[in-house]
Amino acid sequence: MVNCPVCDAEIDIEEDELDEGDLLTCDECAAELRVVGVDPLELEATEGEEEEDLDYGEEEEEEEDWK
């Protein structure tokens, strides 16, 4: 049994069927989680990763070019 790293709810999953990199969703808080380790099973929240990958500098340049 593993707990959600966001809300600490128990997540009932077949741990032996998961691989590193798999995605799942917490039934309690709907957080998207990624398997980062399988022995022992370790999960991390993926929320906000897309925002971190954006290059805001390019976005500002495009807005200035548009004006």
What does the DSSP assignment read for the chain?
Answer: -EE-TTT--EE---GGG--TT-EEE-TTT--EEEEEEETTEEEEE-TTHHHHH--HHHHHHHHHHH-
**Is the CATH number of domain 2-66 3.40.190.10?**
no
> pLDDT tens, 1-58?
899 999 999 999 998 899 999 999 999 999 999 999 999 999 999 966 544 444 555 5
The structural domains of the chain, with segments of one domain joined by +, span: 2-66
pTM: 0.66
Q: What is the average per-residue pLDDT within 61-65? A: 58
